[in-house]
Structure 1
């Protein structure tokens, strides 16, 4: 018997409520987790849908497994098994990019005496060793892109330097958030995170960091790139990542703020 798609209600809330009731009545469903803009206070708009993760005991436990990646104007579904949910978004998972979806997610159903909530909590922040590894890898990649960019600017290849500058920004954000044992947010929620859960230090505030990132993305301005690198270098060295930086040797001179 094929799964019937969720029946749309008059509003996204009505559609969600009806599907949650249906899933809750299904013994093969062991957990329901709500994510997306609806779990970020102040972010939903009149066009926002609901992002719901349906956790099954196993693939054969429920016909709802056929609704994985169902999309509508009111409801988006991810249907996964309990085993998949345990590892989804964690290091080594091909879907590691989706981890931020779970940082503020809410449990709507937990039939496993709190296990769904425990698994979810594991995804919310980076463990110490995980954060250290993530920060080191992102830092090295950030230095590489910034160095390539500033070399191109130095050599009069501004357009190419701009491209590398733009590619350095995601690595810079990965580094800064990992240094604070935080999962880098999706760009949509970057300002929300910086304002609601400050990283500490004025240079990482929304009012300071976002204009820096916008300027780098706009034209790759070398002065702005060096200012950002200066802050990242200070934070990385304070967190014990000097070895990663020092492996670049004299090349770091090109990245550091220049004396006028």
Structure 2
């Protein structure tokens, strides 16, 4: 088995014992293991349990597996792991739970590891579909934020800015072909898998300034997204009326 360097010897032993039991009970139906959650990303605390995805054949997926305060075994089929949820589906959240998760054991000649990698990345078609749903929503919330700032309604501005963070991050990660992380793992992701088009410190500072309702930082984020140069991005901005677009660009 291949364990992350950050995982303690005791936790490695716990997973190894579980793997031996599964191998004995499931035989060839036990296909592999993936370490998800905080432990899989090296940010666990003393209160974190071990979330281990157990890949099994379809006839075994309904069997109950161990779940306690130390170790939770989550059964999935290989087909499920290779199926890509699209943004908006109720399964979309699983994309991040698999993203960057280390494969501990793979009896499928690499199919598990390739599936994990594919869950992490967005294809050009997936990027297009996500932007069609989230880009205009982000611009709209940003427009509301800047109008409230202009009118001196700072509480409304900060509330709208906080609401805009979610579509903003969806857009920014999608533009670089990545699934957006859960908020808990945002800093970890940017430190270990930085976005090519947006320096980590700059993006984290932009988020902080968003939450503070800083109008100029918000306008700069709009300019930076436009600078990606994608036709869909420019088309979306162009759909805004001139007077609205003007409010987005300057006080």
Query: Structure 1: 5+ residue runs without aligned partners?
Result: 1-9
**1:90 shift after superposition:** 4.6
1:85-124 matches, within 5 Å, as 85-87=81-83, 89-91=85-87, 93-124=89-120
SS in 1 for 2:52: strand
**1:151 shift after superposition:** 2.3
Whether the aligned pair in 1 keeps the contact of 2:148 and 2:157 (CA below 8 Å) is yes
State yes or no: 1:210 paired with 2:204: yes
SS in 2 for 1:163: helix
1:1-260 matches, within 5 Å, as 11-25=10-24, 26-27=26-27, 28-41=29-42, 43-58=43-58, 60-61=59-60, 65-67=63-65, 71-87=67-83, 89-91=85-87, 93-201=89-197, 204-217=198-211, 219-235=212-228, 238-240=229-231, 241-250=233-242, 251-258=244-251
Q: Distance in 1 between matches of 2:170 and 2:11?
A: 33
**1:126 shift after superposition:** 0.7
Q: Distance in 2 between matches of 1:71 and 1:256?
A: 52
Whether the aligned pair in 2 keeps the contact of 1:29 and 1:62 (CA below 8 Å) is no
Q: What are the superposed Cα offsets for residues 104-136 of structure 1, whole Å, 9 maximum, x if unpaired?
A: 122233333333233223212111111122233
What TM-score comes out, normalization by structure 2 length?
Answer: 0.83
Structure 1 residues 133 and 107 mapped into 2: Cα distance closer, same or farther (>3 Å)? same
Whether the aligned pair in 2 keeps the contact of 1:12 and 1:49 (CA below 8 Å) is no
Number of aligned residues: 239
Structure 1 residues 14 and 89 mapped into 2: Cα distance closer, same or farther (>3 Å)? farther
**1:207 shift after superposition:** 1.8
Q: Distance in 2 between matches of 1:13 and 1:48?
A: 14
CA RMSD, 1 decimal: 2.5
Q: Distance in 2 between matches of 1:211 and 1:233?
A: 19
Query: Structure 2: 5+ residue runs without aligned partners?
Result: 1-8
Q: What are the superposed Cα offsets for residues 177-233 of structure 1, whole Å, 9 maximum, x if unpaired?
A: 1111111122222222223333235xx22222212212322x322222222222222
Q: Distance in 2 between matches of 1:247 and 1:214?
A: 28
Whether the aligned pair in 1 keeps the contact of 2:106 and 2:112 (CA below 8 Å) is yes
Q: Distance in 1 between matches of 2:55 and 2:89?
A: 17
Structure 1 residues 161 and 11 mapped into 2: Cα distance closer, same or farther (>3 Å)? same
